[in-house]
């Protein structure tokens, strides 16, 4: 019997999609097509590659009406928020726009008579993208577009929870006539993925997912010498100072904590508030959180859908229960239909009287729960923000830019925000520290990570 991957919808538990995994022969054929296509693709001009990418973007966006409910059925995000195409457009357009400049040869800074010396950026070859389900289009496009713009070919293995997304990418590229083999979507199980990574046939892998998943990727690829980009766990903090505009901070941090049911790589998971504004902040945060409407994501009234899988919701329930046992206070306690153990439907929760002995303040939640702690000042806040194995983003809420920068310089993180959070600017590099992973995406630095330097040291004829 042929092995399949089943996509169980969080809406009602039904099997929304089921696809056969690729055979060994199909996997080998896909890699061979990719390798063969890469030779000609690398010779295609950057301008021509850019035309393909912009046409792909147009073809993908044209599917919006079909894609929005598909996302809801696959991973639970309410349809009222539309697709992810605002960010997809911004990132695609920007990476196409900067490609010529970012990929041009770098001339030696000290000219020498009789020599021409420079470094070119060569494509890596075959790039594999292992994409996650939480923002299935945004996260995938971060590598797919710049890898293709740099002259590599791409093999996409999308998450089982968002199988249909990979097919949409393939449909869009096929519609615009991208040369065969330049982009391929493939369905693999874990064992097949590990085998392919260890085969030596992949030149670079980009993975977004758990720390355990990242370790499995590294182990599978050991000895292959491939390069990799790993965006793994996060426990992103916020620090609210006394001079912050509280209404603005509350509105943005509530959204940063609970949008997409808290299933955001750079979502807010812990908040540290200066004692001078703590009470007012907590009151406002609780009040706004109570406005969420949890329910079927296909209903336009729903502002928070189910989590992607019931086990993710159960983990949040466990974190809350442990925190309460250790003295935390829960403030929302919202009554939601189906919010029981074993169900993906889960109400948002705000906890106070929390500390770093609790899982909810130390381990990645990736769900609609947030802890708020009172701090006396910068030293307390910085120590607590750094008391984490992760470091993707940190947000600082203040009216003093220089003060924010001085704090940010001491926080162990990939991105420092001031007066905003939970956002990815394609002009700035997306990276993390500690267990959040390694590598870098987007910006000109992203192109450096998706190419290899090749030096030319040319002596003129004597």
pLDDT by residue, tens only, the chain of 462 residues: 789 999 999 999 999 999 999 999 999 999 999 999 999 999 999 999 999 999 999 999 999 999 999 999 999 999 999 989 999 999 999 999 999 999 999 999 999 999 999 999 999 999 999 999 999 999 999 999 999 999 999 999 999 999 999 999 999 999 999 999 999 999 999 999 999 999 999 999 999 999 999 999 999 999 999 999 999 999 999 999 999 999 999 999 999 999 999 999 999 999 999 999 999 999 999 999 999 999 999 999 999 999 999 999 999 999 999 999 999 999 999 999 899 999 999 999 999 999 999 999 999 999 999 999 999 999 999 999 999 999 999 999 999 999 999 999 999 999 999 999 999 999 999 999 999 999 999 999 999 999 999 999 999 987
Give the pair of three-digit tokens for residue 110.
């000290």
The whole-number pLDDT of residue 1 equals 77
Q: Residue 269: left if φ>0, alpha if ψ -120 to 50, beta else—which one? A: alpha
Strands (E), 78-147: 106-107, 115-123, 126-131
Q: How far apart, in whole angstroms, are the C-alpha atoms of residue 256 and residue 370?
A: 10
Cβ-proximal residues to 174 (8 Å cutoff; 6+ apart), any chain: none
Strand (E) or helix (H) holding 40: helix 24-43
Give the pair of three-digit tokens for residue 97.
């726009």
Q: How far apart, in whole angstroms, are the C-alpha atoms of residue 31 and residue 201?
A: 7
The whole-number pLDDT of residue 462 equals 72
Q: How far apart, in whole angstroms, are the C-alpha atoms of residue 394 and residue 268?
A: 8
Q: How far apart, in whole angstroms, are the C-alpha atoms of residue 258 and residue 268?
A: 8
Give the pair of three-digit tokens for residue 296.
């079927």
Give the pair of three-digit tokens for residue 23.
């055979």
Cβ-proximal residues to 271 (8 Å cutoff; 6+ apart), any chain: 237, 238, 239, 240, 253, 257, 285, 370, 371, 372, 373
Say if pTM beats, i.e. exceeds, 0.85.
yes
Sign of CA dihedral 321, 325, 326, 332: positive
The answer to whether residues 17 and 164 touch, using CB atoms and an 8 Å cutoff, is yes
Q: What residues are annotated to the active site?
A: 231, 265
Cβ-proximal residues to 327 (8 Å cutoff; 6+ apart), any chain: 353
Q: How far apart, in whole angstroms, are the C-alpha atoms of residue 226 and residue 223?
A: 8
Q: Residue 434: left if φ>0, alpha if ψ -120 to 50, beta else—which one? A: left
Give the pair of three-digit tokens for residue 96.
């196409």
Q: Which long-range contacts (CB under 8 A, 24 or more apart) does 194-198 make?
A: 194/219, 194/220, 195/220, 196/27, 196/31, 196/128, 197/128, 197/221, 197/224, 197/226, 198/222, 198/223, 198/224
Q: How far apart, in whole angstroms, are the C-alpha atoms of residue 369 and residue 339?
A: 14
Scored b (16 or more CB within 10 A) or e, 216-253 reads: bbeebbeebebbbbbbbbbbbbbbbbeebebeebbebb
């Amino acid at each position: 019997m042929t092995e399949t991957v089943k996509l169980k919808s969080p809406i009602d538990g039904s099997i929304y999609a089921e696809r056969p995994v690729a055979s060994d022969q199909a996997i080998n054929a896909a890699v061979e097509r990719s390798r063969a296509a890469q030779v000609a693709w690398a010779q295609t001009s950057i301008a021509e590659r850019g035309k393909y990418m912009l046409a792909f973007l147009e073809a993908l966006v044209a599917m919006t009406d079909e894609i929005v409910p598909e996302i809801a059925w696959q991973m639970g995000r309410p349809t009222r928020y539309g697709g992810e195409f605002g960010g997809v457009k911004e990132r695609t357009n920007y990476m196409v726009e900067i490609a010529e400049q970012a990929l041009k040869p770098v001339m030696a800074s000290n000219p020498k008579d009789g020599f021409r010396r420079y470094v070119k950026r060569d494509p890596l070859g075959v790039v594999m993208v292992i994409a996650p389900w939480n923002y299935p289009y945004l996260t995938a496009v971060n590598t797919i577009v710049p890898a293709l713009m740099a002259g590599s070919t791409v093999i996409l293995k999308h998450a089982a929870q968002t199988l249909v997304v990979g097919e949409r990418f393939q449909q869009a590229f096929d519609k615009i006539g991208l040369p065969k083999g330049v982009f391929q979507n493939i369905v693999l199980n874990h064992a097949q993925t590990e085998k392919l990574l260890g085969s030596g046939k992949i030149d670079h892998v980009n993975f977004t997912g758990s720390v355990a998943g990242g370790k499995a990727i590294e182990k599978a690829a050991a000895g292959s010498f491939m390069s990799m980009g790993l965006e793994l766990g996060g426990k992103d903090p916020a620090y609210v100072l006394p001079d912050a505009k509280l209404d603005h901070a509350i509105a943005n941090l509530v959204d940063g904590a609970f949008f997409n049911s808290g299933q955001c790589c750079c979502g807010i998971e812990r908040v540290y508030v200066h004692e001078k504004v703590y009470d007012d902040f907590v009151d406002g945060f609780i009040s706004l959180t109570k406005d969420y409407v949890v329910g079927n994501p296909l209903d336009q009234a729903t502002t928070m859908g189910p989590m992607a899988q019931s086990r993710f919701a159960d983990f949040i329930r466990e974190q809350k229960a442990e925190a309460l046992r250790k003295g935390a206070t829960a403030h929302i306690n919202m009554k939601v239909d189906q919010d029981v153990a074993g169900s993906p439907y889960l109400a948002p929760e705000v906890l106070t009287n929390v500390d770093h002995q609790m899982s909810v303040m130390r381990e990645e939640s990736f769900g609609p729960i947030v802890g708020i702690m009172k701090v006396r000042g910068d030293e307390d806040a910085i120590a607590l923000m750094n008391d984490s194995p992760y470091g993707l983003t940190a947000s600082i809420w203040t009216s003093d830019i220089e003060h924010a920068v001085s704090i940010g310089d001491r926080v162990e993180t990939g991105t420092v925000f001031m007066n905003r959070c939970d956002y990815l600017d394609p002009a700035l590099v997306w990276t993390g520290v500690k267990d959040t992973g390694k590598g870098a995406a987007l910006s000109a630095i992203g192109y450096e990570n998706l190419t290899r330097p090749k030096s030319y040291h040319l002596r003129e004829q004597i």
